[in-house]
Structure 1
Amino acid sequence: MSTLRDLDRQHVWHPYGPMPGRTDPLVVTDARGVRLTLADGRELVDGMSSWWAAVHGYRHPALDAALHADAVSHVMFGGLTHHPAVELATTLVEITPAPLQHVFLADSGSISIEVAVKMCLQYQRAHGRPGRTRMMTWRGGYHGDTFAAMSVCDPDGGMHSLWQGFLPQQVFADAPPAAYDGPHDTAFDEHLAAVAEQHAGELAGIVVEPVVQGAGGMRFHSPRHLRALREIADRHDLVLVFDEIATGFGRTGELFAADHAGVAPDVMCVGKALTGGYLTMAAALCTTAVAAAVSDERGGGGLMHGPTFMGNPLASRVALASVRELLRRDWRGEVEAIGEVLTAGLAPARELPGVRDVRVLGAIGVVELDHDVDVPAAQAAAERHGVWLRPFRNLIYTMPPFVSAPEDVARIAEAVVAAATDG
């Protein structure tokens, strides 16, 4: 009889890899708290929050209750509505920057970016500028794997160079200086202004990951650049989009990364931690000005997007439970505590040969190498320390669940250092 792993290898295509895969995945049989139980009986502390989504850990009572409560499983969102979706949208409006008043519920983070780009294009069309069809962004970014999202990812260092020639040609500024704070880099802000000025007649909007660039390189930049982008967008009447899919809901030390800069975008995309990792859901929030333009007959008369599972009641219920659970707890204290343990625990990596940088922000810890990671060796080292990590390119990083105990965070940090040593 074929084993589960044999069947997986024959039939299951895993992300970012060939079919069949080059390595066999670990088989998970249970997940509780911050631990993954494997088929061979081992337990691994999850240092990744399941791609940054499971901020409450696994089998959280409040989120379990949201799924098991007597509720409608699914109804189409066209022409119908329901309490979970309305409550969720209202809650998101309450906790995000004030100008954001309207919520489009999407299937995933990538789809929320697609929706945001459509909003930008329709906004310009409504204002009599149909020739403004390009997006401005900066290098080093990652926004997802669907086609509009791929087009605003880094065109050279990203994962989507295969599609050059097919993707829309967007406008790319240089990557922001890799520092969270420090002296104000007016030269970079001037560079952003110059790029926008040069292409203003063809730009519909600007989209960036605020403060932290995620899968494009786990780089941190100063919030000051977000204020510069806000001024640039206002000057040229561009729609400013913040991709908070990875940074939202407290990961950087503020509830949203935009809060570090004290500015509000015209569109904000959220996802990942929105449902605590339980179900797939994201959202694109926008201002009344954007919603009015998209809804104007000149702009299209409405947003031409309607996912089959948009506003799914179960996903809406668990998202609402996740957000409420986050706000109920001292999430800021949890994130600060994780950051302190990671700062201390990752410090020894600075002395390792081949390490270019070690950095921590909020509940994010990164060891950057000067060469690509030997991923199997790095993962094996982490597993020997009882931790699950997934390095990529030249990065070994962690984003622990917010509920991780100090001793678990310390173990994660030791595993990152070990992975850097072996990888």
Structure 2
Amino acid sequence: MSLNEAWRQRSLAAVWHPCTQMKLHEPGGAALPLVPLSRAEGVWLHDHEGRRYLDAISSWWVNLFGHNHPAIRAALIDQLNSIDHVMLAGFTHAPVVELSERLAALTGLGHAFYGSDGASATEIALKMSAHHWRNAGRPGKHRFVGVAGGYHGETVGALAVTDIALFREAYAPLVRLADTVPSPDARAAAPGESAADVAERAADALERWLAEHHESTAALIVEPLIQCAAGMAMHHPAYLRRARALCDRYGVHLVLDEIAVGFGRTGTLFAHEQAGIRPDFLCLSKGLTGGTLPLSVVLTTDAVYAAFYDDEVARGFLHSHSYTGNPLACRAALATLDLFEQTDALRANVLTGERLAAQFEPISKHPRVRHARRQGMVFAWDVASSLPDFGRRYARHALQRGALLRPIGHTVYAMPPYVIDEAEGAFLADAALQALHATLAEEDGHAAPAADAAWGVCDGV
């Protein structure tokens, strides 16, 4: 038995993998096999038998500067020589203080509250907003509104503002669902409309909703510029400007979920910068540690913080977890922020994004592709296909060609680490296009082209 197969069988016997119908991983099925990995370096993931896969989705959007980056690794090793972890209740330490100071300087938001992951950040922001209004003498403001197609995590509180049918229907009895307003998704443009027109139309709907419901609404939550789980739905920053003004007018908090789009993905360090606004709450995770350790943070204003500052314990923010502000994770985040400065990453990404856009041109111009689009270092293409399992088939063909690409429904997207070079970009563009040809050939009833044997084929596919 091969090493890959041995680890695959052990994993199937012992591990419950996330957001996965495990039966689809069983041997002999039509789905993707598990890929056992032995190491990761740069943009590449390596299995136990010499195959490698270009991580074109940054391992669920977390990796910024490549796997096993020496500067982040060195920071973690150094931190292990002093403090690995200490509870943040009643104690503090240099990494959490320094990270909070740097994030405050970058965002203009003065206090940082830490969690472990994106869903936790959503939960913290929602609880903090509703509790703020109660402390401010307005306990009736405890409802939330989100944007259609929004995704903010899968814990029970985060699911309340997540508008993805699969999750809502499975756990609806457990969730107090929030209301939704229309998305500013530019793909909804009518003939003659621009992306800005769609944004204004969606903002008009938000205005009507807030006019009627603001007395009971604590906060609006939005993924700025890109609604990732909605199929990389991209929108014009005009929507964010209107949303900020409307929240101010009606006394509603604006929560911006930059868990996926923060730290340079959209072209600026934070997506909301492109609208020239500041939120009341900013949720960050994923790229915060460069893709090394779990950490999230909610940044908020001094005014929100002041509403909790009191002699009475019950007026404090009653939320915690054991690893809040973990020193190792905070050091990884500090090293990641250092890399932005040392490599001038945002400027470099402009050139990288333009180069990748040119390399992706054949897929963007494919006759079955609709709405080819890009925002910063995020690329997306909607594919006209009748295959109900298009995404799974495409992902399998991409893996056969050495690329990790996992479509969202019929939307193929790429969100690679920033360090992808020209040769790697050419490889990715070719693999993405060939995987599309192979998937559509299956749909059209023709034999799919064979994968390039030089890159290997996953066992069991």
Preserved contact between residue 151 and residue 164 of structure 2 (Cα < 8 Å): no
8 Å contact kept, 2:128–2:317: yes
Which of 14, 17, 42 lines up with 1:14 in the alignment?
A: 17
**How big is the shift at 1:137?**
1.2
Map of 1:136 onto structure 2: 145
Task: Give the aligned partner of residue 92 of structure 2.
Answer: 81
Residue 123 of structure 1 contacts residue 299 of structure 1 at CA under 8 Å; is this kept in 2? no
C-alpha contact 1:293 1:299 (8 A) present in aligned 2: no
Name the counterpart of 2:170.
Answer: 162
SS in 1 for 2:173: coil
Tell me how far apart the structure 2 counterparts of residues 3 and 204 of structure 1 sit (CA, whole Å).
51
2:315 is aligned with 1:312: no
Q: Which moved more, 1:41-50 or 1:348-357?
A: 348-357
SS of structure 1 residue aligned to 2:277: coil
Which range is displaced more, 214-223 or 405-414? 405-414
SS at the partner of 2:354? helix
Distance 2:23 2:86 in 1: 36
Q: Are 1:404 and 2:420 counterparts?
A: yes
SS of 2:334's equivalent in the other structure is helix
| Counterpart residue type for residue 288 of structure 1 | D
CA distance in 2, matches of 1:376, 1:236: 44
The one-letter code matched in structure 1 to 2:391 is: V
Summarize the Cα distance change of 1:154–1:312 in structure 2 as closer, same or farther, 3 Å threshold: same
Q: Secondary structure at the match of 1:358?
A: strand
SS at match of 1:160: helix
Encode CA deviations 1:307-341: one digit per residue, 9 max, x unaligned. 10001111111111111112221212332123213
Task: Quote the Cα distance in structure 1 between the aligned partners of 2:222 and 2:311.
Answer: 29
Which residue pairs with 1:270 in the alignment?
284
- Is 1:33 aligned to residue 36 of structure 2? no
1:214 Cα deviation after fit: 1.0
Does the residue aligned with 1:121 lie in a helix, a strand or coil?
helix
Cα deviation, 1:118-142, whole Å, max 9, x if unaligned, reads 1110111122211211111110111
SS of 1:79's equivalent in the other structure is coil
Counterparts of 1:217 and 1:238, CA distance in 2: 28
Mapped partners of 1:154, 1:219: distance in 2? 13
Name the SS for the 1:294 alignment partner: coil
Pairing 1:44-83 to 2, within 5 Å after superposition: 44-69=53-78, 70-83=81-94
Are 2:403 and 2:428, in contact at CA under 8 Å, matched by a contact in 1? Answer: yes
Letter in 1 for 2:393: A
Secondary structure of 1:165's aligned partner: helix
Could you tell me the TM-score, scaled by structure 1's length?
Answer: 0.94
User: Which amino acid in structure 2 is aligned with residue 44 of structure 1?
Assistant: Y
Specify the code of the residue in structure 2 equivalent to 1:94: A
CA deviation profile, 1:230-269 (whole Å, cap 9, x unmatched): 1111111111100011111111001100101000000000
Instruction: Find the counterpart in structure 2 of residue 246 from structure 1.
Output: 260
Residue matched to 2:307: 293
Larger CA deviation: 342-351 vs 362-371: 342-351
Aligned counterpart, 1:393: 409
Can you list the C-alpha shifts for 1:365-421, whole angstroms capped at 9, x where unaligned? Answer: 111123455334312332343222122311211111011112212222222222333
Q: Which has the higher helix share?
A: 2
- 2:129 alignment counterpart: 120
Q: Determine if contact 2:221/2:256 at 8 Å carries over to the other structure.
A: yes
Distance in 2 (alpha carbons) for counterparts of 1:354 and 1:272: 32
Contact 2:85/2:326, CA 8 A, preserved across alignment: yes
Do the aligned residues in 2 keep the contact of 1:71 with 1:314 (CA within 8 Å)?
Answer: no
Q: CA offset at residue 14 of structure 1?
A: 1.0
The worse-fitting range, judged by mean Cα deviation, of 334-343 and 168-177 is: 334-343
Q: 2:54 is matched by which residue type in structure 1?
A: V
Q: Amino acid of the residue matched to residue 90 of structure 1?
A: E
Q: Tell me whether 30-39 or 347-356 shows the greater mean CA deviation.
A: 347-356
Tell me the residue number matched to 2:120. 111
Q: Secondary structure at the match of 2:183?
A: coil
Give the aligned residue type for 1:14. H
* The 10-residue stretch of structure 1 (346-355 or 177-186) with the greater mean CA deviation from structure 2: 177-186
Corresponding residue number in structure 2 for 1:420:
436
SS at match of 2:113: strand
Q: Do the aligned partners of 1:46 and 1:387 also contact (CA within 8 Å) in 2? A: yes
Cα pair 1:367 1:420 within 8 Å, conserved? no
Distance 1:250 1:350, change over 3 A: closer
Q: Distance in 2 between matches of 1:341 and 1:379?
A: 24
The residue type equivalent to 2:99 in the other structure is L
- Kindly state the Cα deviation for residue 351 of structure 1 after the two structures are TM-superposed: 4.4
Q: Is the 8 A contact 2:195 2:235 kept in 1?
A: no
Structure 1 unmatched runs, 5+: none
Distance 1:338 1:291 in 2: 39
1:175 aligns with 2:183: yes
Name the structure 2 match of 1:219: 233
The alignment covers a number of residue pairs equal to: 420
Q: Secondary structure at 2:174's aligned position in 1?
A: coil
Could you say what secondary structure the match of 1:366 adopts?
strand
The code of the aligned residue for 1:58 comes to H
Task: Please give the alpha-carbon distance, in whole angstroms, between the structure 2 residues aligned to 1:3 and 1:410.
Answer: 33
Evaluate the alpha carbon distance shift between residue 117 and residue 405 of structure 1 in structure 2; reply closer, same or farther with a 3 A threshold.
same
Matched, 1:258 2:272: yes
Per the alignment, in what secondary structure is the counterpart of residue 413 of structure 2?
strand
The 1:190–1:374 alpha-carbon spacing in structure 2 relative to 1, beyond 3 Å, is closer
1:343 matched to 2:354? The reply is no
* Aligned amino acid, residue 375 of structure 1: G
SS in structure 1 opposite 2:324?
coil
Supply the AA of the counterpart residue of 1:258: H
- Secondary structure of the residue that 1:303 maps to in structure 2? coil
**Distance of 2:319 and 2:152 partners within structure 1:** 18
Output the aligned Cα RMSD. Answer: 2.0
Question: Once the two structures are aligned, what percentage of the paired residues are identical?
Answer: 35
Does the Cα contact within 8 Å between 2:186 and 2:195 map onto a contact in 1? no
Letter in 1 for 2:174: F
